[in-house]
């Protein structure tokens, strides 16, 4: 009897472990770039919020998977890790723009499970502290005078989100975006380093990223933010592009997706967890500290919005004469 009881106990113990193991155990967040950029910021925000709110018991692991501004991570999740229910992958508006242009290979926006948007950011025109440019108008005037003398740096190649910010600015000023000198980097961290090293003169990056870098002691200045009104926090004194005569806005959403074969039940667990987490004052504080602004969507709402944005980006890319996904 004792041996049978022991076997039964083991069976029951295994059943309990199986029942309690789920998508919120041993979690991982993939940041599809090197450390220091917006993807890193997005993963660390949710890492802190999930742990602080006790939604997970083990610290979330952050893995860096650079390549193609998200393409390598996207392909890895879809093709190699489609059913990992405890793995989140960060995305941004730039990821959606690249999807719209077919830069993620044979996969499109319908090949993953879009989980949530966790905040919004805005484009920003950034220079080094030592730069002679004191305003966006100074940058435009210099580019008009001699486009070869002003080098724009950004995370991503021609057609990327950062390139689009620079191109929209150029177009609003009556310039041909193709006349810009542009250097592509793998993520915002590298672009920011190049800016401070004098290798590029202007960085068309993100406001939250710039805000965090300034807090960390980076020698940079933000000349303009691409929002409809001035931002709060340590960028409160930075004028918008509109204030400086450039009728341009570039909102950036940040969020997460899951693999295509994650079950409906596990997807709902994550969606419900994010919805509960983002409704708390503690989350508002964490998001604000990272320079992000409220933009909370989960589940079906997030999926619908994201797919609409991809379609809008396809239209914009067509206007700039860029290739788009079929």
CA distances for 283 relative to 149, 221, 278, angstroms: 44, 28, 6
Q: How confident is the model at residue 21 (pLDDT cuts 50, 70, 90)?
A: low
What was the pLDDT predicted at 11? Answer: 43
Judged against a pLDDT cut of 50, whether residue 9 lies above it is answered with: no
Q: Which helix (H) or strand (E) holds 14?
A: helix 2-20
User: What is the average pLDDT value for the chain, to the nearest integer?
Assistant: 88
12 has pLDDT over 50: no
Mean pLDDT (whole number) for 167-180: 82
126-152 per-residue burial string, b: 16 or more CB within 10 A, e: under 16: bbbeebebeebeebbebbeeebeebbb
The C-alpha atoms of residue 249 and residue 30 are separated, in whole angstroms, by: 28
Homologous superfamily, domain 122-251: Periplasmic binding protein-like II (3.40.190.10)
Q: Please write the tens of the pLDDT for every residue from 219-236.
A: 999 999 999 889 888 889
pLDDT 10s digits, 111-127: 999 999 999 989 999 99
Q: What is the pLDDT of residue 326?
A: 66
Domain boundaries, the chain: 2-121+252-319, 122-251
Q: To which CATH superfamily is domain 2-121+252-319 assigned?
A: Bordetella uptake gene, domain 1 (3.40.190.150)
Looking at mean pLDDT, say which of 99-113, 142-156, 309-323 comes out highest: 99-113
pLDDT tens profile 240-285: 999 999 988 898 899 999 999 999 999 999 999 999 999 999 999 9
Looking at residue 261, the DSSP 8-state letter turns out to be T
Predicted structure pTM score = 0.75
């Amino acid at each position: 009897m004792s041996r049978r009881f022991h076997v039964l106990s083991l069976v029951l113990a295994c059943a309990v472990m199986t029942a309690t193991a789920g998508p919120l155990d041993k979690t991982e967040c993939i940041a599809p770039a090197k450390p220091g950029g917006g993807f890193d910021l997005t993963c660390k925000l949710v890492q802190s919020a999930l742990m602080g709110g006790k939604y997970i018991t083990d610290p979330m692991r952050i893995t860096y998977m650079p390549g193609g501004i998200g393409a390598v991570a996207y392909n890895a999740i879809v093709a190699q890790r489609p059913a990992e229910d405890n793995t989140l992958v960060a995305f941004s508006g730039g990821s959606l723009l690249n999807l719209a242009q077919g830069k993620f290979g044979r996969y499109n926006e319908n090949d993953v499970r879009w989980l949530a948007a966790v905040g919004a950011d805005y484009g920003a025109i950034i220079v080094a502290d030592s730069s002679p440019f004191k305003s966006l108008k100074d940058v435009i005037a210099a580019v008009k005078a001699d486009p070869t003398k002003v080098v724009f740096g950004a995370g991503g190649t021609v057609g990327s989100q950062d390139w689009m910010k620079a191109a929209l600015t150029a177009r609003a000023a009556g310039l041909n975006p193709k006349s810009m000198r542009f250097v592509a980097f793998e993520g915002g961290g590298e672009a920011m380093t190049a800016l401070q090293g004098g290798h590029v003169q202007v960085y068309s990056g993100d406001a939250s990223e710039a805000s965090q870098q300034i807090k960390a002691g980076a020698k940079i200045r933000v000349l303009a933010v691409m929002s409809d009104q001035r931002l709060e926090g340590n960028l409160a004194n930075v004028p918008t592009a509109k204030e400086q005569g450039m009728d341009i806005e570039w909102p950036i959403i940040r969020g997460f997706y899951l693999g295509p074969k994650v079950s409906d039940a596990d997807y709902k667990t994550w969606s419900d967890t994010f919805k509960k987490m983002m409704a708390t004052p503690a989350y508002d504080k964490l998001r604000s500290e990272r320079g992000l602004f409220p933009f909370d969507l989960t589940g079906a709402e997030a999926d619908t919005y994201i797919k609409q944005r991809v379609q809008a980006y396809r239209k914009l890319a067509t206007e700039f004469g860029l290739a788009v996904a079929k």
